[in-house]
Amino acid sequence: MKRGITLCSRCFLCGETLENVNHLFLHCKYTQQLWRIFLSHKGISWTMPGKVSEALKSWEEAGVLAKDRGRWRLIPASIWWAIWKERNSRCFESIENSVQKVKLNCILLLCFWCVISYTQMILSL
Ligand SMILES: [Zn+2]
């Protein structure tokens, strides 16, 4: 306990292992469900790399043929933002959302960012 905040080394999403950035954003079984949304939608067979930096590099390579590279690059960010928000909701507010709700939040966030991106592109013409 430090400054009224409980420090927990367990993953707030699965509770099965120690929390670190690579587990939280790549390997947690909870997070894996968000990755699967996009991988299965695109029909991509992808082995999750060990580190976040490797995942970004691998994701970039997997998106070489993507129609819209900008949208492609937003996908990891939307997954990680949705996971980070859910992790903090559980950690600091003791509010636990279903994985379905986090998936929906992730997709809505991605759509929102895409709309902003296109709006900025149009306005810059
Ligand atoms: Zn976990």
Question: Could you write out the three-class secondary structure of 35-81?
Answer: HHHHHHHHCCCCCCCCCHHHHHHHHHHHCCCCCCHHHHHHHHHHHHH
Q: How far is the CA of 18 from the centre of ligand 1 (A)?
A: 8
| Better-scored residue on pLDDT, 70 or 7 | 70
| Paired tokens of 79 | 């997954």
Q: What is the pLDDT of residues 61-79, one digit of tens each?
A: 888 777 778 888 999 999 9
Q: What is the pLDDT of residue 116?
A: 86
| Sign of the Cα pseudo-torsion (106, 108, 113, 117, in order) | positive
Q: How far is the CA of 87 from the centre of ligand 1 (A)?
A: 10
Q: What is the pLDDT of residue 1?
A: 45
